[in-house]
Amino acid sequence: MSRLGNIGARLYRGEVGYDFVGKRKIWYGLSILITITAIVGLAVQGLNMGIEFKGGAVFNTAKTNVSVAQAEEFAETASGHDAIVQQLGNDTLRIQVSDLDTKQADAVATKLAADLDMNKNQIDQELVGPSWGKQIANKAWTGLGVFMILVVIYLAIAFEWRMAIAALIALIHDITITVGIYALVGFEVTPGTVIGLLTILGYSLYDTVVVFDSLKEGTKDITKQTRWTYSEIANRSINGTLVRSINTTVVALLPVAGLLFIGGGFLGAGMLNDISLSLFVGLAAGAYSSIFIATPLVADLKEREPQMKALKKRVLAKRAAAVAKGESPDQAEEPHGPSDEVPGDAATAGAVVGPRGRGRGRPSGRRR
């Protein structure tokens, strides 16, 4: 077995683990700091909206030796507006100029052809109206709202309303961070960006649902035992699925990183940046939120219930009594009867406690 596989097996069996839920205030504080930074970046710099949302003209040129900087200067001189120039992989240029009507676009195309030393018919011209971009934006917001409502309804039915609320907060957290990074980096927001944002919502929920499913199994008949509190079982669920979450996230990030750094960076395919950056940031933020935000939030909400408060008192009282008798806390956590059995699947969900002790009264197999 590989080293990572061995660590995963030990996490699953509860032999090792990390107290994610116990240190949740640290993760909450870090997430709040990142979210505030993203919001400030969005408020100060704003989003670099693509021409599909602002309206204007797009000019695709034939192969040319003119540099991006020169072409940008030519376009701004010809139009009187800011221009965005991208060099494509076959040495052609894509020039975007906002706030142009049909007559102005024709004049700019003629001037560009002269400056770039090519015929006007070698420049493909496309006019984009701002109303089309508004329609795309409105449809995206509508799709996002419908998705959020369906997610909350499904999770409330499949699990419970507290998990639905926690998942919704984690989703908003992921989207805010992704949009804020777009503002800070200055990447252009295009329909591809919107598609990427909608795509990451499903990926963001994937790891969250996996942990929630383990938590649901681990908390069956939780009040019939006095071995663990709800927060401790929640932490066991995170640890038990930790390696799986890391593996799936890394496997998903690798091809997206190829699109972002190789396709968009080395090959110059600028349109790949639109969708790949949102996917890359969203996948990473989704993996983080499922471990450090969603499940600890569920534990916080559940621990407010009177039943969970009473369970926590019984668990702590039992451990204190064991310590008073001179027993170790590990011995106090050993089951002593039917009412102390591990609820559901918690025994195999991963833990923060140390290695399990041997059961009492277990036959050794030797003949006497």
pLDDT value of residue 297: 94
Residue whose C-alpha is closest to residue 174's, from 32, 281, 40 = 281
pLDDT value of residue 7: 59
98 close to 108: Cβ distance less than 8 angstroms: no
Rounded to two decimals, the pTM is 0.73
d(CA 144, CA 234): 29
pLDDT value of residue 294: 92
Task: Mark whether 83 and 15 lie in a shared domain.
Answer: no
Q: Give the chain's domain count.
A: 2
164 inside domain: yes
Q: Which residue blocks in the chain are alpha helix, DSSP H?
A: 3-13, 24-44, 51-54, 68-79, 102-115, 130-158, 161-185, 191-218, 230-240, 242-257, 270-289, 295-302, 306-324, 329-332
Task: Mark whether 87 and 212 lie in a shared domain.
Answer: no
Tokens of 50: 């693509």
d(CA 213, CA 215): 5
pLDDT value of residue 140: 77
Task: Mark whether 244 and 158 lie in a shared domain.
Answer: yes
Task: Mark whether 182 and 98 lie in a shared domain.
Answer: no
Residues 222-281: pLDDT tens digits? 888 888 999 999 998 888 888 888 888 888 888 888 877 776 555 555 566 677 888 888
Task: Mark whether 171 and 148 lie in a shared domain.
Answer: yes
Matching residue, tokens 């969970």: 308
180 close to 272: Cβ distance less than 8 angstroms: no
Task: Mark whether 275 and 156 lie in a shared domain.
Answer: yes
pLDDT value of residue 296: 93
Could you say which of 106, 128, 150 is where a domain stops? 128
20 close to 238: Cβ distance less than 8 angstroms: yes
CATH number at residue 281: 1.20.1640.10
Hey, which residues does 94 pair with through a beta bridge? 60, 86
239 inside domain: yes
354 inside domain: no
Task: Mark whether 142 and 118 lie in a shared domain.
Answer: no
Task: Mark whether 157 and 237 lie in a shared domain.
Answer: yes
Task: Mark whether 41 and 138 lie in a shared domain.
Answer: yes
DSSP 8-state symbol, 59: E
343 inside domain: no
pLDDT value of residue 139: 81
Residues 60-73: pLDDT tens digits? 888 888 888 888 88
Residues in the chain where the model's pLDDT stays below 70: 1-17, 89, 130, 133, 263-273, 328-368
Residues 160-189: pLDDT tens digits? 999 999 999 999 998 899 888 888 888 778
- Domain carrying residue 64: 56-128
Cα Rg of the chain, angstroms: 28
Residue whose C-alpha is closest to residue 219's, from 269, 132, 160 = 160
Tokens of 137: 């934006």
Task: Mark whether 177 and 67 lie in a shared domain.
Answer: no
Task: Mark whether 41 and 69 lie in a shared domain.
Answer: no
Could you say which of 128, 154, 171 is where a domain stops? 128
Task: Mark whether 218 and 144 lie in a shared domain.
Answer: yes
360 inside domain: no
Strands 93-98 vs 56-60: parallel, antiparallel or unpaired: antiparallel
pLDDT value of residue 349: 39
312 inside domain: no
Burial (Cβ within 10 Å: 0-12, 13-18, ≥19) of residue 342: buried
345 inside domain: no
